[in-house]
Amino acid sequence: IGLNYADTSCQITAPELARKISPNLMNKLRNGSMDGRLEEIVTMLQRKNELTGETDLVVIKRIAKSDEVLRKEFWEYRIDAVEKIQTFARKFKNGDNDWELMSDVDKMHVRVFALLYGGEYSDSENPIFKAISHVVDISKDAISIHAVPGYMNERTDPNSYMIQQVAKRNIEKSVNAPFIVSLSWGSASDLDGRIKMVHTGETISYHQMSSHDGQTYLNFDANASCPTKEPVETFTLSSKSPGKYIFMVNNYHTRGNEDIIPFAVILNLNGEIQVFEDSWDCRIRGNNNNDNESKMIHMCTVEITKEMISSLNTEYGLSSKQANRLGRLLLKFKEKFGCVTTTIANMSLLGENVTILKSTSLRNNKSLHTGRREGEDDANNKINE
């Protein structure tokens, strides 16, 4: 990996290393998709509180070690990875406080280091770089220092974490259906979901991904050929015809030396969410690559009724009494204010002479330590809040 400019030429990695990097990771280096998170690590997490002189990361690290945080091991390696990236970035000019002011060559050095940290550069993504987003989110989202322990515990709660993981992946895969069931786990092993359609006798899995009528199907599989450490599989259940479904979980292949693989099944019926948790004991069950249903774990039975389907098509409207009252109010409104229109400003309307102001942090300069915007007194702070 190298960079060439009119005034400089720089080789950042040895050719033999560059050849090992997967095409997906190479694209991340080239297209700048990493830069948002790196800017947060270099700029936001290194900003110092005016009163204590501590950076956001120092505060987060201290809280992570406290008795208030339940799963310290979850945060330890994530915080360590952020520290390693910050230490490397500080070798370069402006790497101690401002990503935007770093040179293009220096930024590429940091990108390569961050992406290859941990040595997993042959996969489709680096799970460590992906995992450190949890640390960044604390600095962005926590209301104050007192809210951080609760935020950390919520992030590591299996129910909360798995639901977030499923929701994120379903958005990425454009899943948009009222009745869905998802399988989520936290390892590179290849678990599989399976649906038995009791009312038709069909089975939906990676073998047969859709029912004959096309209304019930597997949206996406996970960890078959390109394993990740945050896999999700999602199935869509028919919203056209009533039916009864049995959801099962199978371990097709164990990767690594895992004895137990915890997992969760998240059932989402038009916004009503249920979570079913269990684990696959590899010491007892082993692998089931023959798809023997008697060895699979039966997780839940789901019934979609006519009433559930009908409720999806319910139209809500005003009664005649409400409509008449609204009509009278609208006439009064027009008498006082006329016909109100709204214009949405855009760049073409604003013209060329526009100054774009960029916030110095993604949290509107609100200090993680005190919950107070920097440079404001208490009275102004109350007004702004």
DSSP E strands in 140-271: the ranges are: 179-185, 190-197, 203-204, 217-220, 232-236, 243-253, 260-269
What Å distances lie between residue 141 and 65, 125, 132, 314, 347, CA to CA?
A: 20, 25, 14, 37, 29
Q: Residue 119's pLDDT is what? A: 60
Q: What pLDDT is stored for residue 370 in this prediction?
A: 46
Q: What is the token pair recorded at 87?
A: 């230490």
Tell me which residues of the chain have a pLDDT lower than 70: 1-9, 118-127, 158-159, 315-316, 347-385
Phi-psi region of 189 (alpha: psi -120 to 50; beta: other; left: phi over 0): beta
DSSP code of residue 41: I
Query: In this structure, are residues 85 and 41 in contact, taking their beta carbons and an 8 Å threshold?
Result: yes
* Nearest C-alpha neighbor of 230 from the set 276, 282, 170: 170
Distance CA 294, CA 203 (A): 14
Q: So what's the pLDDT on residue 382?
A: 43
Question: In this predicted structure, what is the pLDDT of residue 112?
Answer: 87
Number of helical (H) and strand (E) elements in the chain, helices listed first:
15, 11
Predicted TM-score (pTM) of the model is 0.52
